[in-house]
Structure 1
Amino acid sequence: MENIISISGNVKFPITLDPGVWIFDDRRVDLNTYFDEAIEKTDALEEYTKSISKHWDREIMEGAIYPPTLKSEKKFEKEKVLTGTFGVPLAPFIKNAEPNEDASSVIIISHNGEEQVSLEDAMGMILGFSKEGKPLKEDGPIHAYFGDGSNYNSPFKNISSFQIK
């Protein structure tokens, strides 16, 4: 149970998070490249449309039978999951907890103490949950990074919960 993280406080729905299942989450990002690349905000519908269009184009050009390259791509993706360093955005979890209208900050509670950040900064945070394919056991279960990567070399570690104020 030490790997379960809670979001509570000034919210309509206190929730718990299990970082152990995030490896299967489609929202996961590669932390090795996330802060280096220019972050473009894309609309979910636009992303879905592009994905479907690419698949449709491939079927038209190569037929409905998947070519050998698709098998290679799937193998590469599986290998990446087993060896990658990943994180997920904190914003969807905060939105699911539904902070009350007067909520303005988030206290990050860890074994090392507490840090207070604005709700806006927290909405941009990325929660690291694996390093080189392994869960963060020694100083985890998660690390928290600001969305701009300003604390990439010294993230918040040993986090046990988020308290919304």
Structure 2
Amino acid sequence: MDLRATRFPFVSESGWFNSFRWEPGLYTGFSPVRFMVSALKVALLYVGYVLIADYATRSGLLQTIYQPVTGYLRTSSAGLPMNANALVNWWAALGIGTFLASGLVKSTPARLAWTGWGAATTAMVWAGTAGPGRTVAAGLTALTWAAASLLALRARG
């Protein structure tokens, strides 16, 4: 009796090599094709992000959000010990930080902070925009925040 069969039931009588069956889900080695596909995905995502950012800058979408928020923070910060410029910088840093933390770390507090930041930004745009453009500006803010949330709030890995 072959003792290999009792200790290692997956080994056949003819040896290790002949008993190996390739399972696609178990293979984790380097594959040039998989590497090229992954590199192409990253390149397309980067080009897409650059094009979206360029469009958002040229079309005035970012200014539609930024100007009402800064106007709201400047008018509402009269009695605070923090000046208006520091408040605007804090708002921007908090948005970037919670976006990165919720997208990369995927923690629940970071996701809640991102959600609160987006709701507060939409409310500030609503309050900071005057006239008939108020609803459109708040809607564009909510849609932009929802699009960014696709990355920030994606499923846990």
Range into which the TM-score falls when normalised by the shorter chain: under 0.3
Name the larger-Rg structure.
2
TM-score by length of 2: 0.25
Structure 1 or 2: more helix by fraction: 2
TM-score by length of 1: 0.24
Structure 1 or 2: more strand by fraction: 1
